[in-house]
Each structure stands twice: as structure tokens, then as C-alpha cells.
Structure 1
Amino acid sequence: MSRLNTNQLSLSYGSRQIVQELNLSVPDGRITALVGANGSGKSTILKSMARILTPVQGGVYLDGKLIHRQPTKEVAKNLAILPQNPSSPEGLTVRELVSFGRYPHQKGFGNLSAEDNRMIDWALHATGMTTFSGRPVDHLSGGQRQRAWIAMALAQGTEVLLLDEPTTFLDMAHQMEVMTLLEKLNKEQKRTIIMVVHDLNHAARYAQHLVALKDGTVLYEGHPEVVMTSQMLREVFNIDADIIPDPRTGAPLCLPYGLAEEPSEETPVLSPTSGARSVEPQEQRVQALA
């Protein structure tokens, strides 16, 4: 059974419903990428999984228990989130930032324990930030700063990491730096990672599980080689694109050409369903690749 899943989850901002009756299971020990156009509900779902947003109906379950009914500190020992564009107080050093990840494990306002310091040292080492530990966070490059925040999440000692657009506003080199780190954490430490990603080629290359959303509904779900199709791109993103295998990795590579044309009345159109599309050959492919 998946450690993290949703059951009939409905989410709203005021009177505006964003997600309706979502059923989603996050594969343990894998990288899952949520993709979709702006406003499709990706970040909203992630916020609900992190207890930042309370459901209108249904719920998010962590280890079979409703996450919104569990004590905050208990949730924080199992799940860490890196929000979009996090900020820190001016002058805060990298080590001080990473030490905040130990808060769920502390009692009162006591000093850091030997175990806390061990975890901080490990998180700095795992992210390649040890040599930057005494440097102010606001003096770092974009990629270094993002790695510092990931180190803080790692210091929590959780098996599940939620990341909301971890490469936003980073140049190409820093994007690769962050994505390679996440891949390493997943492969070497079996971390379960759920991330919202805008770059479809990053999603297809680094994730083992893709969830394509439109209007708060899962239209496609499964291995990138199955989900990343021209049909999915038309339905979810309204673009025309070719999909070719990456010459180095074999992962599906998206080559967009323009906006999709509106279908004529004679052109059959598949109607959306309340869940992910079910196509037998695709299901067989997912099972074969799982």
C-alpha cells in the first residue's frame, strides 16, 4: 500500500473549486512528477498533501491515517515540503537554515542534540553544501540556495519529500544541478519524491511516474514512456508536438511546434473521464515497466 494517497479529495479556494474527488496513490520509493497547464491544480494538490490546505471533501492519507487529523510534529517527522520560492531572514547561514529541519524532533526550545547535529552534517554532505555551511544563504547562487533548502528538508529525516517547482527561476545549469541531486537522493536513499514540474522533458527524464492533470482531474497516469504522447500534450496543454526518444537516455523527449488546432465537427474527440485514461496497451506497458 502506498504511504501517501488521496481519497475522493476535493479542494477549493473560497467558492472556486480546483480539485474534485481526486483519487491518487503516490508510488513509494519513486519520483512522481505532477504536470499540467497553469491552474490545473498541481500546486493545490501538493499543498493539501502537506497539510497547508484543508480539503472541502475527502482527504489525504499518510500511512492509512487522515493527514489533517495527525499532530503537526508527527507529520513533519514523515513528510517534508519545499514550497515555491522559499525565503530566509537576511544573514542566516546555511547551517542555521538546515538546523530548522530538526524542529519536529526537538522538545521545547532546547539546544541541538548530538543526533540533530549528525543529521545536519549528513544533510549538508548529501547536498554538497558542507563547504558553504557558514555562508549566508542570501549570498549563494540560485542552485546553491535551492540545495540549501533541500538540505533543510533532508535534515527532517523524512522518507517523503514534496517539492513545488524546485527549478523555478533557475538557469539551465542550476536546474540540472537540482534535478541531478533529487535523482541521486531517490536512487541511493530510496526517497519518495513528489514534485510539481513545468519542464516536461525534466519530468520525463527524472521521474518514474507521471501524473497529467487538467482542471483538477487526472487524465493520464503512469510511466513517462506511456504518458508522454502527442495526444496527451494536445488534451492537457493544447499544443502540437512530436515525441522522440532521447538519444542518450531513451526517455521521451517533447518537441513542441505550436498550439493545437481546434478539432472540426467531423473529428472524433475523446471525452474526459473522472479518473486517469484507461487504455489496455498502455496499462500493459505500465505493468511491464513497473
Structure 2
Amino acid sequence: MSILSTEHLKIGYDEKIIVEDLSFTIQSGKITTMIGPNGCGKSTILKALARIHKAKSGCVYLDGKAIHKIPTKQIAQKMAVLPQSPEAPSGLTVFDLISYGRSPHQKGFARLSDRDKEVIEWALKVTGLVELRNQDVDTLSGGQRQRAWIAMAIAQETELLLLDEPTTYLDMAHQLEVLKLLKKLNEDENRTIVMVIHDLNHAARFSDRMVAMNNGRLMKEGTAEEVMTVGVLKDVFHIDAMIVKDPRTNKPVCLSYDLVELGKDIDNKNGIAQEIVFV
């Protein structure tokens, strides 16, 4: 079942077109990850899906309804968005940050209701931040800070979470910590998650679906096994990749790679660069 979809979407800035004629669907209850080289349009697509950036033409549909026709507050009750490298005002506590996630459910400047406080406590517990509730956000470690922003997003109680590079600037352990949290939210809370990730192996490990983009075009979408192939990675990243199966997860892993050299092509079957003879 589709929760979010695009139809012939055209996105750009002024006269520059970033994405043209994009049509794809996000399946409800799944984790979908967008991959692709820098500047290919991933973050722009995410902004268009969230109605942060207006498309030049085409349409985004949320639950089958054109998103530009849905009131902003209704969208915020359905979809939470976590941008890349968000910043909190100085002196803001973890509890205060998470409380902002309740805004779509409040009227005017009303105080936190019992229900609001209940959800905030739940978000603190799920993200492992109970003991840090009164600590300033700007004093947290990278992983703690990212969990705090995720806690704010899930406090919106939305079915859909959109995250732009949620593991950026985090070390290996904190990256895994954040991704495992998102996976748990997906499995335990049935949250539909759409995220942009640069690490191909993380994308393959934690995704149900992958969307590979390049030059504003959808190159391939499907399962990790369908997208993490020698041929697709060559077309998307121009690399000669060696793909193996992870013994822990049975998901495909890019073990090693090199740049595809001029005048060479990839044997899609075994991942070996073979020289082309031009006659």
C-alpha cells in the first residue's frame, strides 16, 4: 500500500532543473532509502515530498491526496521531517526540544496537555534520553543530539518520518545507534521511514526498499538485492564494485570498489572490469 507518491515531478531552483519527470511510490510501513552521488537531487526530492520546496510541475500525493491541497497542520500531523544537521537555540533542554514536536496537536499557545506530556515521556524513553531530559541540547554528544531530534520528530505522532542524512558527522558507533533506533521504530511502531543516506552498506542493511538516483533521474528502485548490484552501482556512481553477502544480515555489502576507467566496462555477472575493444 502506498502512503506517499510522486507523479511526473519536476523540481528546480529558478531556471535550473534538478529533478525532471520523477514518478515513484513510498510503501506504507517500510523503510525506504534514497542513495546517489552528491548533487543528484536526493535532498531536493525529500524537501518536495515534505512540501518544503515547491515543485515546478507534477504532484506529490499523501494518502492519495494532492499534498499542496492539504492544510499545513494536517500534513504536520501525518508527516515529521528531520532536515540535515538541524540546530537548536542555545540553552534549550532536551525536554523542551521534544515538546516542540507536540505543536501540530496544540491550539495556539496552549500549555502542554496531559497527553502531550505522556507522549514526550514515551519519546524520551524510546530514544534512551530519560536521564538527559534536563540537559542542554548543545552539550550533548553527536549521537545523543541526533536522538533528541529524532525524539522530537516521533513526538509528533506521525505515521511518516522523513530524514535527510540522519547519520551525517556521526562516528561508526553513533551511526549504528541511530539507524537501529529508526529500525526499532519501524518494527515496533509501524512507522514509515524515508531517509537519505550516503553509506551504501547502511542503506542496504536497514532498508526494505532502496531508490537509486543520478542526475535527477530515478535509475533503479527495489529491494537491497535489486539495487545493490554491480551494474546499478556502475550506472549511479561510476564505480567498479565488489558485492558480497553480509553473514550477519544476509544483505548485500559493497566490500571494495574502484573508479571505472575510461574505455572499460563492467561485467555485470562477476563485477570485474573488462576492457572494451573499439573497432
**Does the 8 A contact of 1:239 with 1:256 survive in 2?**
no
SS state at 2:2 partner: coil
For 1:258-277, list aligned pairs within 5 A.
Answer: 258-263=258-263
Q: Please give the alpha-carbon distance, in whole angstroms, between the structure 1 residues aligned to 2:254 and 2:214.
A: 18
Q: Deviations over 1:20-56 (max 9, x none)?
A: 1111100110100000001111100000011110000
Alignment match, 2:46: 46
Shift of 1:67: 1.1
SS state at 1:58 partner: strand
Paired letter, 1:81: V
Alignment match, 1:113: 113
Alignment match, 1:138: 138
Q: Please give the alpha-carbon distance, in whole angstroms, between the structure 2 residues aligned to 1:232 and 1:32.
A: 17
Shift of 1:268: 10
Number of residue equivalences? 268
Bigger mean CA deviation after superposition, 117-126 or 78-87: 117-126
Is 1:177 matched up with 2:177?
A: yes
SS state at 2:184 partner: helix
Q: Please give the alpha-carbon distance, in whole angstroms, between the structure 1 residues aligned to 2:159 and 2:145.
A: 22
Is 1:215 matched up with 2:215?
A: yes
Q: Please give the alpha-carbon distance, in whole angstroms, between the structure 2 residues aligned to 1:54 and 1:256.
A: 39
For 1:103-252, list aligned pairs within 5 A.
Answer: 103-252=103-252
Identity %: 55
Q: CA RMSD in A?
A: 1.5
Q: Deviations over 1:61-114 (max 9, x none)?
A: 101111122111110000000000000011100000000000011101110111
Q: Deviations over 1:224-275 (max 9, x none)?
A: 01110011111100111100000211110002331112346xx7999xxxxx
Q: Please give the alpha-carbon distance, in whole angstroms, between the structure 1 residues aligned to 2:68 and 2:82.
A: 18
Paired letter, 1:77: Q
Paired letter, 1:201: N
Q: Please give the alpha-carbon distance, in whole angstroms, between the structure 2 residues aligned to 1:21 and 1:116.
A: 41
5+ residue gaps, structure 1: 271-290
Shift of 1:131: 1.1
TM-score calculated relative to the size of structure 1: 0.90
**Does the 8 A contact of 2:203 with 2:210 survive in 1?**
yes
**Does the 8 A contact of 2:230 with 2:266 survive in 1?**
no
SS state at 1:3 partner: strand
Alignment match, 2:72: 72
**Does the 8 A contact of 2:224 with 2:252 survive in 1?**
yes
Alignment match, 2:23: 23
Shift of 1:222: 0.4
Paired letter, 1:55: A
Bigger mean CA deviation after superposition, 198-207 or 123-132: 123-132
Q: Please give the alpha-carbon distance, in whole angstroms, between the structure 1 residues aligned to 2:15 and 2:256.
A: 35
Q: Deviations over 1:132-172 (max 9, x none)?
A: 11110011000000000000000000010000000000011
Paired letter, 2:6: T
Paired letter, 2:195: M
Question: Structure 1 residues 97, 258: CA separation in 2 closer, same or farther (over 3 Å shift)?
Answer: same
**Does the 8 A contact of 2:12 with 2:18 survive in 1?**
yes
Q: Please give the alpha-carbon distance, in whole angstroms, between the structure 1 residues aligned to 2:5 and 2:245.
A: 31
- The runs of 4+ residues in structure 1 deviating greater than 2 Å are 267-270
**Does the 8 A contact of 2:240 with 2:266 survive in 1?**
no
**Does the 8 A contact of 2:231 with 2:266 survive in 1?**
no
Alignment match, 2:4: 4
Q: Please give the alpha-carbon distance, in whole angstroms, between the structure 1 residues aligned to 2:267 and 2:245.
A: 27
**Does the 8 A contact of 2:164 with 2:195 survive in 1?**
yes
